[in-house]
Amino acid sequence: MAVAEQALAAKDPAKDSDYLRIVDVRKEFDSFVAVDDTNLTIRKGEIFALLGGSGCGKSTLLRCLGGFEKPTSGKIFLDGQIMNDLPPYERPINMMFQSYALFPHMTVEQNVAFGLKQGGMAKAQIADRVAEMLSLTQLTKLARRKPHQLSGGQQQRVALARSLAKGPKLLLLDEPMGALDKKLRNQMQLELVNIIETSGVTCVMVTHDQEEAMTMATRIALMETGRIRQVGTPDEIYESPTSRFAAEFIGSVNMLEGRIDQDHADYVTIVSPSLEKAIYVGHGISGFEGQEVAFGVRPEKVIISKDEPAQQYNKARGKIEDIAYFGSHSVFHVRLASGFRFMSNFANQQRWASEGMTWGDEVWVSWGDNAGVVLTS
Ligand code: ATP
């Protein structure tokens, strides 16, 4: 049997699908609940993001995985092995801190070799492994430099090379882009993903930056006040948020409060005090007539036009109050008679052209039957 086939045969897909299991994990500080009875299953090789605002408990959960905090209750399993009673240094886990924590007096290669030496690896093997890690992170040419002779992005790659050197089963990243400026961040996000994917390590990262989570993660857990509100792929969370919180946390959204007027198997209509016309949603929801709901529609799904659209539903008339220019697109803010302010994105496909629409113009906003989501929580 070929090596690859053997590897495949030895692989247990069931084991891979729940490689990291967080079971009913709770962390209290005195009487304050920082992480509330949390359950998560993470697949082997995933880059999984814990995303949420300040104080939602994401770092505490990450620290529980690393062994830097002890859960008040619940269990953590990695590759079938319980982690709870293992101290951080005995866990097959490595954490890359936001500050990188590089040794300033050591060269790049000495930094990367440090953990391997501590672990008692033979000298020749250390040299091979360090060379492999430097090649993976494209640092070979910088091996003799010290951290202060490196750019922020290069320092981050050293920290990553060092974290991966021992071949951990799980890599933890705490706000990995926290120390970098915006432009470098965007570039490093993709570089980091490439390196992590090439290494094959399973990764859990913490971030408060939704764009970062969307760019880097295979799946995201959105957290609020110690609880997970939604788990999904970036597009699932963006396109199908299950709550007002999720819809508003990720991206911009026009959120209209209202109630279900007609509830049919394949569509619902919603009336909202913000709109003269009803909202028509082309799929059934598990609701009932009279139920209070919200309807969320993303600005890029809202069309702005001077002429009234032919459709019966899903349109409103208003006045352009603001135009925010973002280079690639502009966001039009349209004030309706009800006072509601609609956002509509307009792709700037040509220079200086917004179809002649400007401040103060009377326009229509409209959207398709499947452009938005109905939210019941
Ligand atoms: P941030 O992005 O601001 O770091 P976070 O989501 O990572 O936020 P945590 O650091 O996990 O939040 O903290 C969650 C809550 O637990 C916060 O209210 C915090 O004040 C509290 N907390 C964290 N560590 C301790 C501690 N050692 N003692 C008491 N309370 C703590």
CA of 60 to the centre of ligand 1 (A): 6
Q: How confident is the model at residue 5 (pLDDT cuts 50, 70, 90)?
A: very low
Pairs from 127-131 (Cβ < 8 Å, separation ≥ 24):
129/165, 130/165
Which of 26, 32, 208 has the most ligand 1 atoms within 8 A of CB, as the residue to mutate? 32
Q: What is the pLDDT of residue 71?
A: 96
> What is the rounded CA–CA span in Å between residue 40 and residue 334?
41
Distance 224 CA to ligand 1 centre (A): 12
Return the best residue to mutate from 25, 30, 60, 72 for the ligand 1 pocket (most ligand atoms within 8 A of CB). Answer: 60
What mean pLDDT do residues 243-264 have? 92
Judged by average pLDDT, the poorest of 14-18, 218-222, 261-265 is 14-18
Residue nearest to ligand 1 atom 28, measured at CA: 29
Task: Write the residue with the smallest CA distance to atom 26 of ligand 1.
Answer: 29
Look up the CATH number of domain 253-375.
2.40.50.100
Residue 141: its pLDDT value, please? 95
Take residue 155 and report the two structure tokens written for it: 């320092």
3-245 belongs to which CATH class?
A: alpha beta
Nearest ligand 1 atom to alpha carbon 60: 11
Q: Looking at the predicted structure, is the pLDDT value of residue 35 above 90?
A: yes
Residues with CB under 6 A from ligand 1: 29, 32, 34, 52, 54-60, 208
Question: Over 50: is that where the pLDDT of 350 sits?
Answer: yes
Using most ligand atoms within 8 A of CB, pick from 29, 36, 223 the residue to mutate for ligand 1: 29
Distance, in Å, from the CA atom of 88 to the CA atom of 100, rounded to the nearest integer, reads 17
Is residue 14 predicted with pLDDT exceeding 70? no
Query: Mean pLDDT across the stretch 178-183?
Result: 76
- pLDDT of 354 reads 59
Record the tokens describing residue 54, joined without a space: 């300040």
Backbone angles phi, psi at 273, to 5 degrees: -65, -15
pLDDT by residue (tens digit) across 97-152? Answer: 877 889 999 999 999 999 898 888 888 899 999 999 999 999 999 999 999 999 88
How buried is residue 297: exposed, middle or buried, by Cβ count under 10 Å (0-12/13-18/19+)? buried
Average of per-residue pLDDT across 194-223: 94
Average pLDDT over all residues of the chain? 89
Task: Determine the atom of ligand 1 nearest the C-alpha atom of 29.
Answer: 29
From ligand 1's centre to the CA of 28, what distance in Å? 10
- Given a cut of 50, is residue 7 above it in pLDDT? no
> Which numbered atom of ligand 1 lies nearest the CA of 56?
6
3-state secondary structure the chain: CCHHHHHHHHCCHHHHHCCEEEEEEEEEECCEEEEEEEEEEECCCCEEEEEECCCCCHHHHHHHHHCCCCCCEEEEEECCEECCCCCHHHCCEEEECCCCCCCCCCCHHHHHHHHHHHCCCCHHHHHHHHHHHHHHCCCHHHCCCCHHHCCHHHHHHHHHHHHHHCCCCEEEEECCCCCCCHHHHHHHHHHHHHHHHHHCCEEEEEECCHHHHHHHCCEEEEEECCEEEEEECHHHHHHCCCCHHHHHHCCCCEEEEEEEEEECCCCEEEECCCCCCCEEECCCCCCCCCCEEEEEECHHHCEEECCCCCCCCCEEEEEEEEEEECCCEEEEEEEECCCCEEEEEEECCCCCCCCCCCCCCEEEEECCCCCEEEECC
Average pLDDT over residues 306-318: 92
Question: Which residue's CA is the closest to the ligand 1 atom numbered 19?
Answer: 55
**What are the tens digits of pLDDT across the range 46-96?**
999 999 999 999 999 999 999 999 999 999 999 999 999 999 999 999 999
Report percent pLDDT > 90 for the chain.
69
Q: What is the pLDDT of residue 353?
A: 58
Residue 9 has pLDDT above 60, yes or no: no
Q: Which letter, b or e, does each residue of 187-224 get, where b requires 16 or more Cβ atoms within 10 Å of its Cβ?
A: ebbebbbebbeebebbbbbbbbbbebbbbbbbbbbbbb
Q: Where are the domains of the chain?
A: 3-245, 253-375
Provide the edge-to-edge strand list for the sheet that holds 47-52: 93-96, 170-174, 202-207, 47-52, 219-224, 227-232
> How far, in Å, CA of 148 to CA of 58, rounded?
31
Ligand 1: residue of 58, 61, 223 to mutate (most ligand atoms within 8 A of CB) is 58
Residues in the chain: 377
For ligand 1, the distance from its centroid to the CA atom of residue 35, given in whole angstroms, is 9
| Confidence grade of residue 8 (pLDDT, cut at 50, 70, 90) | very low
pLDDT score at 15: 61
Ligand 1 nearest-atom number relative to CA 226:
14
Q: How far, in Å, from the CA of 57 to the mean position of ligand 1?
A: 6
